[in-house]
Amino acid sequence: MSQKNNEAVRMIPLGGVGQIGKNMMVLEYGDEMLIIDSGVMFPEDDQLGIDLVIPDFDYVKKNKDKIKGIVLTHGHLDHIGALPFLLKEINVPIYGTKLTLGLLEGNLKEHRLMKSSRLKVVNAGSTVQVGQFKVDYIKVNHSLTDTCALAIHTPLGPIVYASDFKFDQTPVDGEVADFHKLAELGHSEPGVLALFSDSTNVERKGYTMSEKVVGETIDDIFYRATNRIIVATFASNIHRIQQILDAAVKYDRKIAITGRSMTNNVEIARRLGYINVPDDMIVDIRDMGHIADDETVIITTGSQGEPMAALTRMARGDHYHINIKNGDTVVISASAIPGNEKFVGQTINQLFERGANVIYEDVSGVHVSGHASQEELKLMLNLTKPKYFVPTHGEARHLHQHAALAEDVGVPKENTYIAELGDVIEFREDKVEKVDKVQAGDILVDGLGIGDVGNIVLRDRKTLSEDGIIIVVVTIDSNGNIQSGPDIITRGFVYIRESEKLIEDATNRVKDALEECEEKGITEWSVLKKTIKNSLNNYIYKQIKRNPMILPIIMQV
């Protein structure tokens, strides 16, 4: 490394701060850059019809040639899901653990990008050189196994990037987090330059419970169940799935897997050795009918009440192979992601209505979070003893709470930086500050369109969704004389059958307004359109207190 010691290290968040999702960070030192993660976010309620949200890659595109590689922390979609879009812009080596890259492969294959991608496996506990940067992969616990924190070494000291972690003292695979490495970084010289740490659960006191506790609860449920058992969980929660499989084997129940992502992930995890279960315990879901109910378990997707997922279909009564019946035990081994509460609640209600005994997070210990609670966050701060601190993986409320927590632990207030998307955060020996702002934000993906849905389209969708649309069509000749119409067509507004009078009156109002124009000799289309709108807007609102979109269309023959 040829740079002088007093040069600055810069970090630029393109996602994951001020929001939970689409995690992505650019690290700069000298002439080289590194990308950390590149994830998607699921759309907010008001982003109507949007499928995915990805980071704005403008800054990456402008600095294409400086980027030496992409380092991944783990395989959740909010960390790897935007890579298929990013790889259309740049092609650099991608580093990650075996399972991370295993999960990424599936994603890349769907986008036909597998062949052109350069994937490099890194084991937890080892170090990889990317350009001028040495990057340590440090084992941490999370709801997805093979997750790592990263220490990226710079002449000013290492940046520790611990987005998504918890400390589980009794993990399912027996591998605790690499406390020693974190401690070593903490008392190295010149010490950790900056810590970027997970703020998701900063509002929770104490420690996040061990995954083992969930295993015990699941074991207990299996012990008591006298009929069929159906368990829904996140398809990526490999340890959870292993614990369900263990219980199935212990109580001698054959296992069927259903739901596309569940089937895929179990297949990947078994192939890579992250899941162990005897072959003869797994059966095809179509053969479940031949086995006694008390000798079967179904592991399924749908823990979020997603409309098309397997458990949701069962609850609704339209799953191909499984009919929920009296005496079934259904376990939802997950918590509702914010925004999904209503969907999950509806699924639980429907399962109860079909006679199932439903066991879910609110009433039992069938789930633990994958993120660190307050005491673990403090431990991370105390182990790494960073000079600067940047709370990450959180909305504004989480970042502010995390900043306050760091202050409690002894990080001076001025050494904590609460970031916004696109901030160019510069770390120097004597201070951290924002030195610039680059283009960053949410790019909306709708079907195959990337970024072609923006505020105007969304505003229209919102208006349409609330009160529908009234279309007024009128045909005029070149002299401006009406040849046919005005005709009124509505969608999403009222039941026409019950509102014939309203539509008739509205049509007459438009007719009167247009005739007035005709008499006055007004023929400009823009004026005619405005006249049509004005004649309806107030009238409709007065009559029925709704504000549908009014769309005048003039055809000339």
Q: CB under 8 A: which stretch of 99-107, 168-176, 288-296, 479-487 binds its own copies? A: 479-487
How far is the C-alpha of 125 from the C-alpha of 97, rounded, in Å?
10
Give me the phi and psi of 264, to 5 degrees please. -60, -50
Cα distance between residue 161 and residue 184, in whole Å: 15
| Residues between 187 and 206 with contacts to its own copies, criterion CB under 8 A | 203
Q: How many CB atoms lie within 10 A of CB 190?
A: 12
- In sequence order, which ranges of 410-524 are alpha helices (DSSP H)? 455-467, 500-520
At its nearest, how many Å lie between its own copies and the CB of residue 551?
7
Helix axes 374-384, 396-409, angle to 10 degrees: 60
Q: Which 315-374 residues touch its own copies, going by CB under 8 A?
A: 338-339, 341-342, 345, 348-350, 352-353, 358, 362-363
**Binding range to its own copies, per CB under 8 A, among 271-279, 282-290, 490-498, 512-520:** 490-498
- Output 125 or 307, the one with its CB closest to its own copies: 307
Q: Does 460 bind its own copies (CB under 8 A)?
A: yes
280 touches its own copies by CB under 8 A: no
Tell me the closest approach of the beta carbon of residue 375 to its own copies, in angstroms.
15
- With binding defined as CB under 8 A, does residue 494 bind its own copies? yes
Per CB under 8 A, 469 contacts its own copies: yes
**Within 25-44, which residues bind its own copies (CB under 8 A)?**
44
Of residues 385 through 414, those in contact with its own copies by CB under 8 A are: 395-397, 399-401
Q: How far is the CB of 528 from its own copies (least distance, A)?
A: 15
Q: Is 14 helix (H, G, I), strand (E, B) or coil?
A: strand
**Which residues are known binding-site members for Ca(2+)?**
49, 51, 446
CA-nearest of 417, 525, 496 to 17 is: 417
Asked if 58 and 442 touch (Cβ cutoff 8 Å), the reply is: no
Catalytic annotation present for 371:
yes
The three-state secondary structure class of 38 is strand
What CA–CA distance (Å, rounded) separates 546 from 506?
A: 14
Find tokens 């990013």 and name the residue. 86
List the catalytic residue out of 37, 146, 168, 198. 198
**Helix or strand (DSSP H, E) at 437:** strand 432-437
Contacts with its own copies in 41-80 (CB under 8 A)? 44-45, 48-49
Q: What b/e string do you get for 208-220 counting C-beta neighbours within 10 Å, with b at 16 or more?
A: bebbbebbebbbe
Beta bridge partners of 55: 442
Shortest reach from residue 107's CB to its own copies, in Å: 17
C-alpha span between 12 and 25 (Å, rounded): 6
Of the candidates 143, 177, 167, the one whose C-alpha atom is nearest the C-alpha of residue 75 is 143
Name the β-bridge partners of 432.
427
Q: Output the smallest distance, CB 297 to its own copies, in A.
A: 23
Instruction: Work out which of 467, 506, 509, 536 binds its own copies, going by CB under 8 A.
Output: 467
Interface with its own copies by CB under 8 A: which range of 91-99, 239-247, 383-391, 467-475?
467-475
DSSP annotation of 549 reads E
**C-alpha closest to that of 1 among 150, 218, 155:** 155
Q: Which residue has the tokens 């789930």?
A: 367
Q: Say whether residue 18 binds its own copies (CB under 8 A).
A: yes
CA distance 14 to 36: 10
User: Are 528 and 554 in contact, with CB atoms under 8 Å apart?
Assistant: yes
Binding-site residues for substrate, in ranges, read 235-237, 367-371
Residue 484 touches its own copies, criterion: CB under 8 A: yes
Q: Catalytic: which of 239, 371, 398, 402?
A: 371
Question: CA-CA distance, 95 to 73, in Å (whole number)?
Answer: 9
Residue 198 bears catalytic tag: yes
CB of 351 to its own copies, least distance (A): 8
Q: How many residues belong to the site for its own copies (CB under 8 A)?
A: 69
Residues flagged as binding site for Zn(2+): 74, 76, 78-79, 142, 164, 393
551 binds its own copies (CB under 8 A): yes
215 versus 394: smaller Cβ distance to its own copies: 394
Residues identified as active-site? 198, 371
**Residues at the contact surface with its own copies, assessed by CB under 8 A:** 18, 44-45, 48-49, 203, 338-339, 341-342, 345, 348-350, 352-353, 358, 362-363, 395-397, 399-401, 446-449, 452-454, 456-458, 460-462, 464-469, 471, 473, 475, 483-485, 487, 489, 491-495, 498-499, 543-546, 549, 551, 553, 555-557
